[in-house]
Amino acid sequence: MNYTKLYIAAAVAVFGFGGCTSNSQVVQLQNQTMRQSLIIQRQQRQIAELKAKLETKKQNVAKTSYTRPKKNIKLKKVEDTNYSSDYMYPDDKKQKTAKTVATATPALSMNKTECIAMIGEAKFERYTQMFGSEAAAIKRCAMIRAMKK
């Protein structure tokens, strides 16, 4: 008889604790599914918010899109019968020669003594040494005189 009480106590213990562990597993599964459902709901809300933002952006873009002008503009026909190559590309040779003659004349009109009198002998020697010849120094003097005038 002692054994029967022992068997009954063991059976109750096995079924009692076994039921508790299976209950705790069920509770854990329920908690896990609740967490997952909350995460899913949050994600669905975020998706809905993003969709709403996208719709507002689309509406704003649609409002600011290009609209055709109300005026009907007619293009004019261009007539190019009056084209002249002489007019479009004039000959510049005459103008260039006149400028070179004009720049050459002041240098010829000035001589060494006038240059020395204008800037001084020390500067004249320095210009000849710097430019390499007396002609270049005289040219420099002529430029200085032209700038003063």
Average pLDDT over residues 44-65: 86
Q: Give yes or no for residue 49 having a pLDDT over 90.
A: yes
The residue range of the domain holding 51 is 1-64
Domain annotation covers residue 118? yes
Domain annotation covers residue 72? no
| Contacts of residue 141, Cβ cutoff 8 Å, sequence gap at least 6 | 110, 114, 115, 118, 119, 124, 127
Domain annotation covers residue 82? no
Shared domain for 107 and 60, answered yes or no, is no
| pTM confidence score | 0.30
Domain annotation covers residue 108? yes
Identify whether the C-beta of residue 139 lies closer than 8 Å to the C-beta of residue 104. Answer: no
Structural domain count, the chain: 2
pLDDT band at 107 (very low <50, low <70, confident <90, very high): very low
Q: Which of 21, 46, 64 is the last residue of a domain?
A: 64
Q: CA 111, CA 92: separation in Å to the nearest integer? A: 32
Q: What angle do CA 75, 79, 82 make, to 5 degrees?
A: 150
Domain annotation covers residue 56? yes
Q: Give yes or no for residue 30 having a pLDDT over 70.
A: yes
Q: CA 16, CA 9: separation in Å to the nearest integer? A: 10
Identify whether the C-beta of residue 134 lies closer than 8 Å to the C-beta of residue 128. Answer: yes
- Nearest-Å Rg of the Cα atoms of the chain is 53
pLDDT at position 93, please? 58
Domain annotation covers residue 84? no
